[in-house]
Structure 1
Amino acid sequence: MTNSVRPINTEPGLLSLAAVHKTGWQSGPVRQKGIGLVEVMIGVLIFAGGVMAVTGMQSQAIRANHDAIQRSQAVWMANAAAELMRLNPAGLPTYVRESSVASANLDAFCQGSPPYCIGTTCAADLMASFDMYGLMCSSANTMIEPKMDIQCDGSCGPTDKVRILVSWGARGSEKGVLADRQQVELRYNRN
């Protein structure tokens, strides 16, 4: 008696069950052994979209940070002007006049040399001119188009209220988000 193994599948071109197990070949869908070009392109597109989103958020953060710096500089200017006016109450009309002259043309205002006024040897008007030159010309380097408007309620007497409005140009303003100019207002009583 001869022991012969007969293939289960006897159709021509097909492997027997023993041959399938021996070679590892399986019938059915073909197994993929690598990443196709389509999958790579989809991955690259998803990655590029994520990078663009992060870049957009970064530019918004830079804009918001710049606006915060401008706003803090404006608040500093308004507070400094109020303190200088409190130290030199007789020079208030000069502060009002010099702020409008400086705001009208800051470049021309800062081109001139500041009045020399150090210590208590200066008159009130000269001290006010010196103070405004220092405030406006130092902020010209850190703010976009700074302007300061100082006004008194009444005749700038010792009991009148003073309004200080500092404004600056907004960088990268978008429609409906930021105006062309931002501003900070400070009011105080002189008494």
Structure 2
Amino acid sequence: MTNHINPAHASPVNAEPGSLSVAAFHKTGRQPGSLRQKGIGIVEVMVGVLIFAGGVIAVTGMQSQAIRANHDAIQRSQAVWMVNAAAEVMRLNPAGLANSAYQRESSNASANLGSYCQASPPRCIGTTCNADQMAAFDIHGLMCSSANIVIEPRIDISCDGSCLPTDKVRVLISWAARGTEKGVLGDRQQVEFRYVRN
């Protein structure tokens, strides 16, 4: 006796467990294999782009901070050199300090450095200068040589008394530091040096 198999109830050949038969796909209106995702979707691409962009922004921010820190270090080093150089020239010219010539010149230079540096200083190289001329020459060279390195440098020179040999001399260099945003100046930084005039 021959057994007849109804095609509607027949199992598909080579069918994977849990998979739909061809007839079932035809009933649902879907094509075989359409349930399996192939390639990379737009969501995965967008997530990858966002992660990459975040990394680039983080690296750029770190580089900006490093540049700012390096610039601040250069300015501080120049300011330290300036206070030491000012102390040395005033030790060589105590009369200019005693008659307040250095104090006047430092005030003039700090008031408007641009116009101050445009004026020609006294010629004290190869010629003889008095104490006041030497003070003007020293401050002009000190401040104008640092104008392109230090942002808005200012110098303040004062004595505790009348600048006698036993009085303390104070030299203060201040400058404008860069803020967190490009081109914005933050709080002023300063370097102070004190010594006994003798």
Matched residue, 2:13: 16
Query: Unaligned stretches of 5+ in structure 2?
Result: 21-32
Q: What letter matches 1:61 in structure 2?
A: A
Q: Residues 32-52 of structure 1, C-alpha deviation per residue, up to 9 Å, x if partnerless? A: 332121111110010001111
CA distance in 2, matches of 1:33, 1:57: 39
Matched residue, 2:158: 151
Is 1:27 equivalent to 2:32 in the alignment?
A: no
Distance 1:159 1:119, change over 3 A: farther
Q: TM-score, normalised by structure 1?
A: 0.81
Is 1:87 equivalent to 2:79 in the alignment?
A: no
- 1:188 aligns with one of 183, 192, 195: 195
Report how many residues are paired: 177
Q: CA deviation at 1:119?
A: 4.7
Matched residue, 2:24: none
Kept in 1: contact 2:83–2:173 (CA 8 A): yes
Matched residue, 2:143: 136
Q: TM-score, normalised by structure 2?
A: 0.78
Q: CA deviation at 1:27?
A: 3.0
CA distance in 1, matches of 2:126, 2:91: 16
SS at match of 1:170: strand
Query: Unaligned stretches of 5+ in structure 1?
Result: 1-6
CA distance in 1, matches of 2:86, 2:110: 14
Identity of aligned residues (%): 73
Matches within 5 A, 1:151-170: 151-170=158-177
Matched residue, 1:4: none
- 2:66 aligns with one of 49, 54, 61: 61
Distance 1:122 1:78, change over 3 A: same
Matches within 5 A, 1:68-107: 68-92=73-97, 93-107=100-114
CA distance in 1, matches of 2:61, 2:186: 21
SS at match of 1:180: strand
Distance 1:120 1:157, change over 3 A: farther
CA distance in 2, matches of 1:142, 1:35: 53
Kept in 1: contact 2:103–2:158 (CA 8 A): yes
- 1:37 aligns with one of 42, 49, 69: 42
Is 1:127 equivalent to 2:127 in the alignment?
A: no
Q: What letter matches 1:16 in structure 2?
A: V
SS at match of 2:145: helix
Report the aligned-residue RMSD.
2.8
